[in-house]
Amino acid sequence: MEDGRETAAMREQKRKDRQIDRWCHTIDDTEALENTDSDIGLCGWILVIFSILLTLLTLPLSIWMCIKIVKEYERAIIFRLGRILRGGAKGPGLFFILPCTDSFINVDMRTITFDIPPQEVLTKDSVTVSVDGVVYYRVQNATLAVANITNADAATRLLAQTTLRNVLGTKNLAEILSDREEIAHSMQSTLDDATDDWGIKVERVEIKDVKLPQQLQRAMAAEAEATREARAKVIAAEGEMNASRALKEASLVIAESPSALQLRYLQTLNTIAAEKNSTIIFPLPIDMMQSFMKH
């Protein structure tokens, strides 16, 4: 038990170390991307100065081209002569660009959800199932999401489909049906690690539905029905056994006291009278009937 706890603690520590390494790597990549505007060269600085002079000469008309607004849930990545401007993402609110040398891209920072299309998966025990799910993710680093990948949304969708097939391929059918939370957590960790270089944070993964083949459904239903019938027969047999034991004990008590049989007879008559029944049963000894049959 102690070895299991130590192993779990070691895995958790390794996971934290990998997460710290990813953060450091992400920070280094972001700083490297953001500190490139100083390399625009002499011609670049000449163009920037010319753009500033042109803006000043065309005031106040140029002010409408220089001031931009981004919403609370957006960030703007500014490119100056094709290079990311120092300081990283801008916003929310107002920011200033040069009309001739600068361009910008808005990045939505809100959580995005998408459905994973049903995937035909062959499980570890050679059963074909159709599984779909849903993924929740958001852009954590707008600079990496723009500079490191062409389309972060499409890439995350495709990666989620392949990850779903890869994770479910290592599980058998019983684990898929019973351990959905563990499978979802494993998918989330795998996707989060893979999309970290794209500035994407996978917040949650859920398995929606597991569809079994019709033949397998009928076989499982027949197995469950047979199990219920067997359990019902066992319960009925146990009830009969308990009833027989009770009857045996009652017969022993009546045999010890002959008057108990007469009291039981009177109790039976009382029960019949309470139900407003006109039928009255009189018990006759068998010995008396045999004497009549002899005559």
pLDDT in tens, 21-44: 555 555 555 554 555 445 677 887
Give the pLDDT score at 134. Answer: 93
Q: What is the mean pLDDT of residues 82-101?
A: 84
Domain boundaries, the chain: 36-108, 111-212, 236-291
**Alpha carbon distance 156, 196 (integer Å):** 11
**Alpha carbon distance 37, 24 (integer Å):** 22
Other CB atoms within 10 A of residue 84 CB: 21
Does the structure show a pLDDT above 80 at 84? yes
**Alpha carbon distance 85, 98 (integer Å):** 12
Q: What is the mean pLDDT of residues 173-189?
A: 87
Give the pLDDT score at 88. Answer: 79
Answer yes or no: are the C-beta atoms of 33 and 143 closer than 8 Å.
yes
Give the pLDDT score at 113. Answer: 93
Token pair listed for 56: 């000043």
Does the structure show a pLDDT above 60 at 205? yes
Give the pLDDT score at 138. Answer: 93
Residue (of 175, 86, 84, 183) closest to 132 by Cα position = 183
Q: What is the mean pLDDT of residues 130-150?
A: 90
SS3 115: strand
Give the pLDDT score at 5. Answer: 44
Answer yes or no: are the C-beta atoms of 138 and 112 closer than 8 Å.
yes
Answer yes or no: are the C-beta atoms of 193 and 22 closer than 8 Å.
yes
Which CATH superfamily, name and number, covers 111-212? Band 7 domain (3.30.479.30)
Q: What is the mean pLDDT of residues 65-73?
A: 88
Does the structure show a pLDDT above 90 at 136? yes
Residue (of 84, 109, 110) closest to 97 by Cα position = 84
pLDDT band at 1 (very low <50, low <70, confident <90, very high): very low
